[in-house]
Amino acid sequence: MPKNKHTSRQTARPAHTNFSGQHLIRDKSLVRRMIELARLSPQPLVLDIGAGAGALTLPLAQEGWQVLAIENDPRFAEKLRGKIGEAEGIRLIETNFLEMPLPRRPFGVIANIPFAITTAVLGRLMDYPAVPFRHGVLIVELGAARRFTADPVTQARILGWRMQFDLKLAEPVSPDRFSPPPRVQCAILIVRRKKEPLVRPSDHARFMGLVTQALRVPGAPLHAALGPWFTPAQLKHLVKLLRMDRSVPVGSLNERQWAAVFKTMIRYVEPYRWSKASGLSKR
């Protein structure tokens, strides 16, 4: 495994630029638990997003991972730089994760993500299947973890993630295991890329065009939500395939049912209909 002792540092910024919602892990048993879960889907390269003072960074390197420790707050970055010293396998990047280039080779994320940017971080990792993100063990708000793993999925963006990835709420985490303690309950969220995605990565943009429009009103009847794409005869075939009544809310479909809807659209619906309805080109 290649070792990298170098760090990169941008021009100094005011201390107040740190993301709100950053609560540092102070419980070593939580660190051990996250590493235990991460071993189930190992990648040589892992990102510690919001590395803070290095509660995860150093143990990860000691376990043999190559770690990119990403920290936007100069105060934390300076402390972490001192702790790293000559340690091998760690590269400190003092920057905003939401703006930095992502690795081009497969990587994992083992991190206590600043709560204020949780959805944005997950979006960078999972909005585009071409990003070589493979697995994650993440500390997030319990409410967010429940929203990301809820069934059925009524938000198009989260549905898009779950066509490519398995998301699991592993276990709740008490606020008193952080400093300062957050005012909300926390959880460990596990993310793993599916071996067989429910929609081919090359079809992802087209699928998102369908579900973004169809789920604008999750409570709308299935026949009304999908009417712009499917003719009445095609809808009749579709609901028979799904074994659902045409009046059920479109937001009640699960991931596999959405995969069936999309495959049926590609197979039976004329391209001019679905490309026009979704606002996407048929190419």
Domains of the chain (ranges plus CATH)?
A: 8-193 (3.40.50.150), 201-278 (1.10.8)
Write the CB contacts of 70 (distance below 8 Å, at least 6 apart in sequence).
47, 48, 49, 50, 51, 93, 95, 97, 100
Q: How does strand 90-94 pair with strand 165-173? A: unpaired
Residue 224 near residue 249 (C-beta atoms within 8 A): no
Given this model, what pLDDT does residue 274 score? 72
How much is the pLDDT for 73?
A: 93
Give residue 43's pLDDT. 79
pTM for this predicted structure: 0.88
pLDDT of residue 276: 66
What does the pLDDT read at residue 195? 95
Q: How far apart are CA 186 and CA 59, in angstroms?
A: 21
What confidence score (pLDDT) does residue 11 get?
A: 34
- Mapped onto helix, strand or coil, the DSSP state of residue 109 is strand
* Residue-wise pLDDT tens digits, 96-120: 999 999 999 999 999 999 999 999 9
Burial 54-79 (b: 16+ CB within 10 A, else e): bbbbbbbbeeebbbbbbbbbbebbee
Weakly modelled stretches of the chain, pLDDT under 50: 1-20, 281-283
pLDDT of 202: 96
Summarised one tens digit per residue, pLDDT across range 176-189 is 999 999 999 999 99
Q: Which of 70, 169, 165 is nearest to 126 (CA)?
A: 165
